[in-house]
């Protein structure tokens, strides 16, 4: 059995995280998990409960963060981005009480959460004077993006081709030609190089976030000399990556364990 703690990091009902601790003594490495759902309020962090339970059974503390999403007061740009920085930084206030090893921190995000995970990593080695204005205080060892939305402009264009309103525009507060600077500040591919180890895992059969987003991101990251690895899984769709009973999840675990060392 693992222990789970509901911990607020702000005053809004969605500004909280669930910290799970393994039944081990001593300091624990930490996996920060960020759920997807195209940043929309109808999707919450509970979808990550099964994989967080699996991770804690393997000896990791997990910090499953919720954040203000589109459809909530303060969600979208810049509130969603402020929240994920604040949530990660809040670990510095929990470190001593829960014996967290903040020298061993990995961020793992799925879909829109993969976008936020990569975006968070961009704030480690750069100083920004943007609307967010908050530095990331927790050193991150690596980022694992599971079918991450690594290119907001490309994702917006894919949705436009299909017709309808893109959730990307709802997140950013406008179309690419209307708020181009926001897209530049919010899209991971435009923030490369991150100078942090990144592992991109994507299923070939993904119809929600096409694999080409990770492929093109990887190509650009390599060109810029970044520390990145791409794992494309055949016969795998969007949600298998977060199914702890799937072979795809075993690949994720293998990559997590590998990220502790130098795979590059």
pLDDT digits (tens, 9 = 90+) for 239-250: 999 999 999 999
User: Does some domain include residue 8?
Assistant: yes
Long-range contacts of 255-259 (CB under 8 A, 24+ apart): 255/144, 255/199, 255/201, 255/229, 255/231, 256/31, 256/106, 256/108, 256/144, 258/199, 259/106, 259/141, 259/142, 259/144, 259/197, 259/199
User: Does some domain include residue 252?
Assistant: yes
Q: What is the pLDDT of residue 124?
A: 83
Q: What is the pLDDT of residue 3?
A: 83
User: Does some domain include residue 23?
Assistant: yes
- What are the tokens at 125? 């080695």
pTM of the model: 0.95
User: Does some domain include residue 263?
Assistant: no
Could you tell me the residue range of the domain that residue 99 belongs to? 3-258
User: Does some domain include residue 159?
Assistant: yes
Below-50 pLDDT ranges, the chain:
261-264
User: Does some domain include residue 251?
Assistant: yes
Q: What is the pLDDT of residue 45?
A: 96
User: Does some domain include residue 220?
Assistant: yes
Number of domains in the chain: 1
User: Does some domain include residue 264?
Assistant: no
In CATH, what number is assigned to the domain containing residue 61?
A: 3.40.50.1820
């Amino acid at each position: 059995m693992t222990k789970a703690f509901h911990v607020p990091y702000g005053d809004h009902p969605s500004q909280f995280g669930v910290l799970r601790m393994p039944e081990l003594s001593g300091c624990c490495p930490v996996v920060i998990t960020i759920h997807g759902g195209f940043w929309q309020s109808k999707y919450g962090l509970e979808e990550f409960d099964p994989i967080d339970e699996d991770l804690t059974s393997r000896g990791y503390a997990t910090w499953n963060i919720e954040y203000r999403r589109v459809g909530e007061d303060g969600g979208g740009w810049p509130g969603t981005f402020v929240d994920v920085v604040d949530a990660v930084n809040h670990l510095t206030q929990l470190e001593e009480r829960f014996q967290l090893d903040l020298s061993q921190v990995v961020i793992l995000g799925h879909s829109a959460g993969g976008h936020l995970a990569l975006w968070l990593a961009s704030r480690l080695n750069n100083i920004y004077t943007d609307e967010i204005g908050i530095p990331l205080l927790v050193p991150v060892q690596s980022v694992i993006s599971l079918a991450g939305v690594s290119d907001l402009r490309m994702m917006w264009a894919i949705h436009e081709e299909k017709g309808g309103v893109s959730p990307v525009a709802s997140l950013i507060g406008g179309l690419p030609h209307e708020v181009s600077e926001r897209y530049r500040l919010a899209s991971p591919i435009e923030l490369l190089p991150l100078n942090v180890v990144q592992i991109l895992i994507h299923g070939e059969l993904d119809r929600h976030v096409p694999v080409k987003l990770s492929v093109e991101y990887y190509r650009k990251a390599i060109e810029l000399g970044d520390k990145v690895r791409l794992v494309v899984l055949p016969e795998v769709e969007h949600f298998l990556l977060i199914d702890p009973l799937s072979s795809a999840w075993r690949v994720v675990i293998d990559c997590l364990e590998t990220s502790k060392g130098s795979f590059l």
